[in-house]
Every structure is written in structure tokens, then in C-alpha cells.
Amino acid sequence: MEKISEVNIKDIARFAGVGVSTVSRVINNHPDVNKETKERVMAVIEKHHYVPNNSARNLKRNQSNTIGVLIKGITNPFFSRMIKVIEKEITRRKYSMILHQVESDADEIDSAIELSMEKKLKGIIFLGGCFNHSQQKLAAIKIPFVLTTITSLDDSVDKTVFSSISIDDFAEAYKAVDYICKAGHREIAIISAAPDDQSIGWLRLEGYKKALEDNGIPVEAQKIVSTGEFSLQCGYDSINKLLSQTRFTCVFCISDMLAMGAAKALLDSGKKIPDDVSVVGFDGLEMARFYSPSITTIYQPDEAMALDSVKTLMDVLENEGVHRHVKFDATLIEGESFRPLNGERSDNALLP
């Protein structure tokens, strides 16, 4: 794909060999532009991914009332309920929704630009993915967008050009591991994301490391296993690797899917949960409550986050609201997969 560049209406006119007024008439679908000229201008617009900054007004005739939901990690059950809530709320507000899967090795921004041009989207909600994109890259999206469950990790990015709805992944991972430490565990392993992860996996790993440090526990490389996907199989395989290289009394998994896969591997190896090894997950999946043993986990308020994502986007679209960044609190929920070694239970935990 051609490198994204910033162009304005004068550039489009120059590239197409026409006047600015002609470009304006093409954008607004005026009938007094001949077919050949219109096609030439539209080809230049598409080539340079140009959408006017005031697109919500000037492209009204060309745009549909459609919101794009771009999801990276569509097999992750954590997103299933969020998608249902988002679609219901979008429909209630008299819009339609397009769900678009972004492959794990694809660029979210490129996918968003292509989809917004093809479907004339009004706005975009991103679910999941890696968001360490530059200011120039984000600015290439000319319609309002919301990052949901994620936010930009680049402090130099202008946060006024987009919204984000998430939890504080670093702080919530810290909360989980600090809870494990305070319960008497000293040998704590983690199943984390790939080493090159630049999103929530990295934040949760950093929260784990900081909690160990603050509790006077050294971070040991052999107790950290990285995996490419948040899947049951990856959790299963990761535990077998941990069992072969280190000793641990608790494993913290950065997703419930990893935790359930890890628990299965521990049971298959002859370990008892939580008598021999405790397991703590992250996300608060419904299926984790019904797993045996039920998983102690960090619960994300998925429904509230989904609703707020739509509300935030609509405020920008319909009420000329400003972009905002909201962090929800998550909740530690104790299940049957965790055993304190000091005989105490945390007063901060919400018992199921």
C-alpha cells in the first residue's frame, strides 16, 4: 500500500489537473461534472486517501449512516459480548454497523482508511490490536474514531484527535499480582504476550514486574513465558514449558483463555488446583466462572465499556463533542483456582 500522506483539496486539484471548485463539486456529487473528470478526481482522492476534515458535513451526500467496528482478535470471546452490546446500541441510535476483522499481521490504520473510503463510514470503533502508531498515521483517519480496550502508547500523540475507552491494564495487572504476593506467594510465574507486543500484553507484563519488585520478589526470566495468541492451546503449551524449566506456586495469565488452558495442562500433569498451584486470569469471562475450578480473575466491565464507546463516538458525531479518554475500574473476583499460602483472603476481592 502507498505510504499515507497529508494532502488538502488544493493538492487533489493539482494532481487531477482541475480547479478546486471542480474537486468540491465532485465531492458533493454535483451533476454538472462530466463523467471522465469525475472519475479522474475520484481516482486521485482514493489514491491519496483524502477525506476533508469537515467530512461529516461536506460528504453528507456520499456517506452512509454506518459505523465501522474493526476487531483484531475476533476469536477472543471477551469481544463477543461487547460486539453484541455495541451493535444493539448503534441500531438503537438509527445507525448501521459493519464488523470488519483485522488479521493479526495487518495494520489497523490501513484497514480503517480503506474501509472508511469504501463504505463511506461516519465513524470507527477499534476493538483490540496494537496501538503504537505515530501522530501522522493516526491523523490519516479523517473520521472520528474510538479505541476500545486499548489506547495509544505513544505519549507524543495528540490525544485530542481520538477517544479511548479502556481499563488501566498496567494498574490492574499490578493489582492482581500484588494480591498474589500479599497472599504469601513468592514463586509467581506469568504467561504473557509475545516479546514484541506493543499493547495490553506489554502493559500487563510490566504490571506483573512492578508488583514483584514492590513486594521484594526478584523477576526471574525463566518464570516468564511469552505466547503469540490468547488461546486455550497457548495456555496449555505455556504451562508445560514452565513446568520443564522452573518451580512456581502460582501462575498469572494475562487472559482467562490462557488461564483455562493453563489449568487444563496442570491437571493433566497431575497437579491439583489450587493445592499445588494457583491460577489467576484476566478479563472476567463468563466461561471462566463455569470452569472447574472457577478461575480467580480480573473482571473488565465489558458491557459498560461497550456502551460508553458508542456514546462517546455519537457525542463527537452528533453533538460536536470533544474527544475524551475514559479508564474504567476492573474488579478482582476470587474463584476456586487460587489458594492463599498465608491462610488469608483479601478484603479487596469481590467474592463470587
Residues in the chain, total: 352
Burial class (CB in 10 A: 0-12, 13-18, 19+), 318: exposed
Output DSSP code: residue 226: E
Higher pLDDT, 136 or 40: 40
Q: Grid coordinates 483484531 are at which residue?
A: 72
Higher pLDDT, 155 or 153: 155
Q: What is the 3-state secondary structure (H, E, C) of 253-294?
A: ECCHHHHHHHHHHHHHCCCCCCCCCEEECCECCHHHHHCCCC
Q: Grid coordinates 469504501 are at which residue?
A: 118
pLDDT tens track for 296-328: 999 999 999 999 999 999 999 988 788 999 999
Q: Would you place residue 58 in the very low, low, confident or very high pLDDT band (cuts 50, 70, 90)?
A: very low
Average pLDDT estimate for 207-231: 95
Output DSSP code: residue 296: B
What is the distance between the alpha carbons of residues 62 and 55, in angstroms, rounded to a whole number? Answer: 10
Average pLDDT estimate for 124-153: 83
Peptide bond into 293 cis (omega under 30): yes
For the chain, what is the mean pLDDT? Answer: 87
Pairing mode of beta strands 331-333, 297-299: antiparallel
Taking a C-beta distance cutoff of 8 angstroms, is the pair 311, 296 a contact? Answer: no
What is the distance between the alpha carbons of residues 68 and 322, in angstroms, rounded to a whole number? Answer: 20
Average pLDDT estimate for 97-111: 87
Q: Which domains does the chain have, with CATH numbers?
A: 9-50 (1.10.260.40), 66-167+302-329 (3.40.50.2300), 170-300 (3.40.50.2300)
What is the distance between the alpha carbons of residues 96 and 121, in angstroms, rounded to a whole number? Answer: 10
Higher pLDDT, 142 or 24: 142
Give bridge partners of residue 253 from the DSSP assignment.
191
Residue 349, pLDDT > 70, answer: no
Average pLDDT estimate for 74-96: 92
Average pLDDT estimate for 214-219: 98
Burial class (CB in 10 A: 0-12, 13-18, 19+), 111: buried
What is the distance between the alpha carbons of residues 271 and 273, in angstroms, rounded to a whole number? Answer: 7
CB atoms within 10 A of CB 110: 15
Higher pLDDT, 296 or 155: 296
What is the distance between the alpha carbons of residues 67 and 121, in angstroms, rounded to a whole number? Answer: 6
Residue 248, pLDDT > 50, answer: yes
- In the sheet that holds 123-127, the strands lie side by side as 96-101, 66-71, 123-127, 145-148, 163-167, 325-328
Residue 192, pLDDT > 90, answer: yes
Burial class (CB in 10 A: 0-12, 13-18, 19+), 322: exposed
What is the distance between the alpha carbons of residues 54 and 292, in angstroms, rounded to a whole number? Answer: 54
Q: Would you place residue 27 in the very low, low, confident or very high pLDDT band (cuts 50, 70, 90)?
A: confident
